[in-house]
Structure 1
């Protein structure tokens, strides 16, 4: 990987992580693909229809990385900056249903988004000065990618706490 900052792009499923990071210049590690392809999981959660990642194995597999890593788990990596993509919960729930998620999973993720679950985890692990929120609601993937690029290049300041969806609850 190239030299430069380690930028984790994270967020609730459906916020646009994979879509926007495919538009970025430079290396991108798609952690969910790595977890699936390299068998970096410890069990299958049948109730949620997902794999439970072995985060120690993931950290070991990515090693000394730089560039961008994206996944709803990316904030669990050592990173210099963490971009948390956000989306209005009702829009998020619609996106997930359009992707084929069942009602329970779509609702659970929308509630997690409203409660700032991933943002809170990112701030707890990395601190306020390293976390950048980007609201993807009603924005194009190219516009969101430009915001991520600004974080990568250091042209955008930390912004944890700027986005809130408590009106959803």
Structure 2
């Protein structure tokens, strides 16, 4: 089974899946898709304004099919993970104000942090995940006031099928 863990940058994806892998005793194979893009050269150059890479989606899909086929428990983590085949999609969410603060603390430019906060308030990644995978495969988790271990436990429950799909349960549109 392949599970995508996705969300706007700053929602806690990397931290949650790193804790998930540890808590699962290493049974879940975790793929950090952004690392794969960089390390395997699966991109079409760099966006000079954002200092980020343009992902080659076709090459990434082929890489995932070869290296993370989903026969075992595979967790694919990235703000792009929902663009690929998955049995379940976990969308991590965070209040836009908190998200913007987290991104600025990590050194993101004010404009980038604001843009990501607005995307979070508008449910951009959630909408894309539901459109591609259907609401019955999407699990939404609000990370705003939760510890990394609490978030990892929620992700684990979604991966294990112990939690009902929950697309549309988090609403930050009032922030706009």
Normalising TM by the smaller chain, what interval? over 0.9
Q: Deviations over 1:102-152 (max 9, x none)?
A: 000000000000000000000000000000000000110000000000011
1:15 equivalent to 2:11? Answer: yes
State the partner residue of 1:51: 53
Q: Deviations over 1:23-44 (max 9, x none)?
A: 1122100000000000000121
Cα separation, 1, equivalents of 2:167 and 2:43:
30
State the partner residue of 1:33: 35
**Residue 67 of structure 1: CA displacement?**
1.5
Q: 1:146 aligns with which of 139, 142, 153?
A: 153
- Structure 1: gaps of 5 or more residues: none
**Residue 58 of structure 1: CA displacement?**
0.6
Cα separation, 1, equivalents of 2:81 and 2:33:
7
TM value normalised by structure 2: 0.92
Structure 1 stretches of 4+ with a deviation exceeding 3 A read none
- Structure 2: gaps of 5 or more residues: none
State the secondary structure of the residue aligned to 1:23: helix
TM value normalised by structure 1: 0.96
CA RMSD of aligned residues (A): 0.7
